[in-house]
Structure 1
Amino acid sequence: MDVIGDLMARDRRSDRLALRVDGPGRTYTYHDLITTSYKAGNVLRYLGVRKGGHVAIEPTLLPEPILTFLGAAQLGAITAFDPQFEARATVVDVERESEFEDLPPGQKLAVFGGPPSNSTTTHWEQEVWSENPAVHPEIVSPDDAALVADDREYTHADLLTAAKRVVDDYGLDEDDTVAIRASLSHPGTVVAGVLAPLLVGGEILVPDGDDPVDAALIVREHGTETNAVTPDEILDERRFT
């Protein structure tokens, strides 16, 4: 697989569990996740996001930020898991809508977690639900940027190469679960917590609080469990070149 969109290929859709977020009790099968990522990308296109454009996403550990990132990657857009980043589209929790109502001209706001108060704000759930799940026509290259953090851009090749090394080093396969306890604002979290399990057809788990979890790998800010790794360790051990 050369680009992140390859992880969202139609023939990978199945009834296997892809994402589980225990707090709100939400689950997505591979069929649900892949189809919804198409819809999320189409919503971003509606907001004016194009290849090479930026999407700023609040790094909340919920399905919407993950799905928005996957949709953006299929467009060839660049995600910043930082809502303060200057971007064509900003996607935040509805509770923060008022903080972003005065975006500069040309920047659009979308909120998830409930309907917006302002009629000019896009309601993520409503628009995604109504979108056609069409595959995006953009041609994306492995050398195209997919993520920006700390003034550094990471290409599709950077992220997938690192994810493949996580898979190899931790022996992940389709029967494994990777738990996320660290912020998506860290590129290492995206690599190990999102892309690595998707690469092998495994499960992404967002646990509820610090409850014990049955996972092959746990990505957390400060690793204490024997199978835990921090986002910084992911990047330190697998240097991007």
Structure 2
Amino acid sequence: MTAHVATVDELFTRERRDERTVLVDTTRRDYDAHWLCTSAWKAGNFLRHAGVREGVTVGVAGNGPVALLACFGATLLGATTRPNPPADLADETNLQAIVAPVDELESDRYELPRGTSMLGYGDKPETPGIKNFDAGLWSENPSFPPQSLSPETGLLTDGSRTVSHARALESARNLIDEYEIEAGDRVVVREPLAAVEVAIAGVFAPLLAGAVTVLEGESGDEDEGDDAVRERAEVDEDATVYTISDATTEESATQIDPTVLSLSDRTS
């Protein structure tokens, strides 16, 4: 059943923590709602130390569970996430932090505004100034103070437009209704999350419907620590499978076209 929420942070309340699978990574490990909520709270608490707050933007590179936690943590704080941003960010005026694989940050791939916090995951950073996102995340307090966000708070941006919580949730509900996505169904994401439409269709719509986001593509940003290891995901044979991909698939799955979201008419 689709959750009745006004802002995305309401999808991470204590009451929603249970053992249902909500995420499957590229190695076919699964993650339950208890892990997702608690880890998102930790991410939000750690990002707060980096100055993340309402009104700022956080760049998040990657399409795996750790990258999603960074996005959710920023969301809890009222910040706007820019998924998989370009390398040249020097002219961004409100970029407070960037979360990316350590090797990307240490290679000076990104041109950042002065004062932007760099948070690296994957390997342990050796460069001064890059904080260890993994270590900070897992050592944080697994609770989060209640927030009061406006539905018009920015949720996602691609650099040229910003989508609010209200617009993202409205679009997600329309998508759920159009494709009849139900709890337990599986939404397989085969497109980069840099596109706002893909992020809403592949991540936020399944969260809203109680469905499962299945990540596919290149692996590399999954955390291999004990806290992240889960059993191999067991597929519910009665669940409907959806796929988000530009390529035509021959498998028995319903293909979702993220462009039906038509976000441009109510974004800033």
Which deviates more from structure 2 when the two are superposed, residues 115-124 or residues 96-105?
Answer: 96-105
Aligned-partner residue type, residue 93 of structure 1: P
- Could you tell me which residue of structure 1 aligns to residue 104 of structure 2? 96
Gap change, CA 1:215 and 1:183, over 3 Å in 2? farther
After TM superposition, give the deviation of residue 191 of structure 1 in Å: 0.9
- Could you tell me which residue of structure 2 aligns to residue 235 of structure 1? 261
CA distance in 2 between partners of 1:53 and 1:68 (Å)? 14
CA distance in 1 between partners of 2:24 and 2:196 (Å)? 20
- Could you tell me which residue of structure 2 aligns to residue 63 of structure 1? 65
After TM superposition, give the deviation of residue 133 of structure 1 in Å: 1.8
- Could you tell me which residue of structure 2 aligns to residue 53 of structure 1? 56
CA distance in 1 between partners of 2:184 and 2:143 (Å)? 29
The reply on whether 1:164 has 2:211 as its aligned counterpart is no
Aligned-partner residue type, residue 157 of structure 2: V
Residue 114 of structure 1 aligns to a residue in which SS? coil
Note the residue ranges of structure 1 that are not aligned, 5 or more in a row.
Answer: none
After TM superposition, give the deviation of residue 102 of structure 1 in Å: 6.9
**TM-score normalised by length of structure 2:** 0.80
> Retained in 2: the 8 A contact 1:94–1:111?
yes
- Runs of 4+ displaced beyond 6 Å: none
- 2:245 aligned to which of 208, 217, 220: 220
> Retained in 1: the 8 A contact 2:41–2:143?
yes
Between Structure 1 and Structure 2, how many residues are aligned?
234
Query: 1:134-145 maps to which residues of 2 (within 5 A)?
Result: 134-145=143-154
Note the residue ranges of structure 2 that are not aligned, 5 or more in a row.
Answer: 219-234
> Retained in 2: the 8 A contact 1:21–1:208?
no
The reply on whether 1:128 has 2:155 as its aligned counterpart is no
- Could you tell me which residue of structure 2 aligns to residue 182 of structure 1? 191
After TM superposition, give the deviation of residue 239 of structure 1 in Å: 6.0
CA RMSD of aligned residues (A): 2.1
> Retained in 2: the 8 A contact 1:162–1:240?
no
CA distance in 2 between partners of 1:135 and 1:203 (Å)? 24
After TM superposition, give the deviation of residue 83 of structure 1 in Å: 5.2
Higher RCO structure (Cα 8 Å, ≥6 apart): 2
Counting aligned pairs with the same residue, the percent is 31
Gap change, CA 1:27 and 1:94, over 3 Å in 2? farther
**TM-score normalised by length of structure 1:** 0.89
> Retained in 2: the 8 A contact 1:159–1:191?
yes
CA distance in 1 between partners of 2:142 and 2:26 (Å)? 26
Aligned-partner residue type, residue 128 of structure 1: L
